[in-house]
Chain A
Amino acid sequence: IQMSQSPSSLSASVGDRVTITCRASQRISNYLNWYQQKPGKAPNLLIYAASTLQRGVPPRFSGSGSGTDFTLTISSLLPEDSATYYCQQSYNTPRTFGQGTKVEIK
């Protein structure tokens, strides 16, 4: 299963609402995870099952979608949200990732 994300990068201001899109090459129901990776750090799980927030993740992060199209939304961008975000399908193996979306703060 191929995963594609858009945009590949974006620049937004603190307080902006940010949306990242992930598309699967075939239907994957809601078997979709989102990760945040900051420079020099391992990825951190944000959301699993397309919309369930991992413990400890701030509620400004949310996920939605089912089938082939998914979104990650940051409701009000903070400086610490500057990172690269990856989607990953867990429908089957290999558990493929999207190419990543780099979020920068203006």
Chain B
Amino acid sequence: QVQLQQWGAGLLGPSETLSLTCGVYGESLSGYSWTWIRQPPGKGLEWIGEISWRGNTNFNPSLKSRVTMSVDTSKQQFSLELSSLTAADTALYYCARRGNIMIVEDMPRDYYYMDVWGTGTTVTVSS
């Protein structure tokens, strides 16, 4: 059964860069895309972006200028960097697997969802 374990610095100063890594255990990282999502304290979920096992990325336009994602298939890990931090970036950051299934109805369609999640890393931005 696939599990995700994430780690990274939890307390950062304004203008610094957040760096988080998510390790994939129990199943190959290859063949899937991998997602980062964050949740500010007491608030809802925000999709940050996703990276395929081949390294293709999609980012949230609201964060795109500050986000970098990478994947290392040999280490079974993928990573997130978010630069120029402000207090607004304080949040619980989750990594997740982007599962997909093709359903053939009137035509073949690919459906995507987050089916495996890490436990989350709290990141606080404070001076």
Cβ–Cβ < 8 Å partners of B62 in chain A? 94
Mark each residue of chain B from 55 to 81: 1 if its CB lies under 8 Å from any CB of chain A, else 0.
000111110000000000000000000
Are A95 and B47 interface neighbours, CB within 8 A? yes
Cβ–Cβ < 8 Å partners of B25 in chain A? none
A 7-54 contacts with B by CB, 8 A: 29, 31, 33, 35, 37, 42-45, 48-49, 52, 54
Q: How distant is the Cα of A44 from the Cα of B114 in the complex, in angstroms?
A: 8
Cβ–Cβ < 8 Å partners of B35 in chain A? 95
Chain A: CB-nearest residue to B92? A42
Q: How distant is the Cα of A26 from the Cα of B44 in the complex, in angstroms?
A: 21
Q: Say yes or no for A97: interface residue by CB 8 A criterion.
A: yes
Cβ–Cβ < 8 Å partners of A100 in chain B? 44-45
Are B115 and A86 interface neighbours, CB within 8 A? no
Q: A48-B101, A49-B103, A93-B58 are in contact. Are A43 and B114 (CB under 8 A)?
A: yes
Interface extent on B, as a size class?
20 to 34
Are A42 and B118 interface neighbours, CB within 8 A? yes
Are A45 and B115 interface neighbours, CB within 8 A? yes
Whole-angstrom distance between the Cβ of A24 and the nearest chain B Cβ: 15
Q: Say yes or no for A64: interface residue by CB 8 A criterion.
A: no
B 26-68 contacts with A by CB, 8 A: 35, 44-47, 49-50, 58-62
Q: Say yes or no for A73: interface residue by CB 8 A criterion.
A: no
Cβ–Cβ < 8 Å partners of A63 in chain B? none
Q: A45-B113, A54-B115 are in contact. Are A86 and B44 (CB under 8 A)?
A: yes
Are B111 and A49 interface neighbours, CB within 8 A? yes
Chain B: CB-nearest residue to A86? B45
Q: A49-B111, A54-B115, A90-B113 are in contact. Are A99 and B44 (CB under 8 A)?
A: yes
Cβ–Cβ < 8 Å partners of B59 in chain A? 94
Knowing that A93-B58, A94-B47 are A-B contacts, what are 12 other residue pairs whose CB atoms are under 8 Å apart, sorted by A's residue number? A33-B114, A43-B94, A43-B117, A45-B115, A48-B101, A48-B111, A49-B103, A93-B49, A94-B61, A94-B62, A95-B50, A96-B47
